[in-house]
């Protein structure tokens, strides 16, 4: 905490931050002066937002309400998230590629469906769409899996003009085959001890 700008824990179901912080203060690793700085910043922000009045509720008439969910903020959050993930997929180990394949925004629904049918026929049938996936998102996942099998062949991202190459927003690593099921794994970028990987079910 001494070397970061963190002021509070935002995890509602985990109170270990509080317990550990008290222990760090008692052990002399975190000073009371540092805690006071965080407390002042938190209270100043709450005052600015009007959270010290009206029972801690911001009235719907407040100009702050319109600032929530602005597209610029959503885009910034997405860019930060994309810059902090690593994409893993089954296949022989090979060097990361800087380009990815996705469906074009201008591609018709019929062309996308046709490309999906072709891709599923190329042994990608075990990669079903997730519930929230649109047809275009699902096609982009399949197209990128197919392209990353041999990224030196840019024609693998053609699909008769339905797809396009673009700079990957994440590092693509092809992992060793664990079993016969294709997967995409996401891992936070950080020290080995802090990396948490999870498999996404397709």
Query: How do residues 132-153 score in pLDDT, each as one tens digit?
Result: 567 888 888 888 888 888 888 9
Whole-number Å distance between alpha carbons of 63 and 180: 54
Q: Which residues pair with 170 in a beta bridge?
A: none
Q: Check residue 198 and give its pLDDT.
A: 31
pLDDT at 96 over 60: no
Whole-number Å distance between alpha carbons of 65 and 99: 39
Domain edges within the chain: 1-68, 80-200
pTM over 0.85: no
Q: How confident is the model at residue 164 (pLDDT cuts 50, 70, 90)?
A: very high
């Amino acid at each position: 905490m001494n070397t970061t700008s963190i002021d509070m824990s935002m995890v509602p179901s985990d109170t270990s931050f509080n317990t550990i912080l008290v222990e760090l203060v008692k052990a002399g690793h975190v000073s009371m002066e540092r805690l006071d700085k965080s407390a002042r910043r938190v209270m100043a922000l709450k005052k600015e937002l009007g959270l010290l009045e009206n029972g801690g509720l911001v009235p719907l008439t407040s100009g702050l309400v319109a600032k929530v969910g602005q597209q610029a903020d959503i885009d910034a959050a997405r860019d930060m998230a994309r810059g902090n993930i690593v994409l893993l997929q089954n296949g022989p180990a090979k060097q990361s590629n800087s380009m990815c394949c996705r469906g074009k925004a201008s591609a018709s629904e019929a062309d996308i469906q046709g490309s999906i049918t072709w891709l599923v026929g190329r042994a990608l049938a075990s990669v079903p769409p997730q519930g929230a996936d649109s047809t275009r998102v699902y096609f982009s996942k399949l197209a990128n899996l197919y392209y990353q099998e041999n990224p030196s062949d840019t024609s693998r991202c053609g699909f008769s003009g339905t797809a396009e190459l673009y700079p990957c927003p994440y590092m693509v690593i092809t992992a060793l085959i664990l079993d016969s099921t294709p997967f995409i794994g996401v891992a936070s970028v950080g020290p080995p001890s802090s990396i948490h990987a999870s498999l996404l079910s397709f």
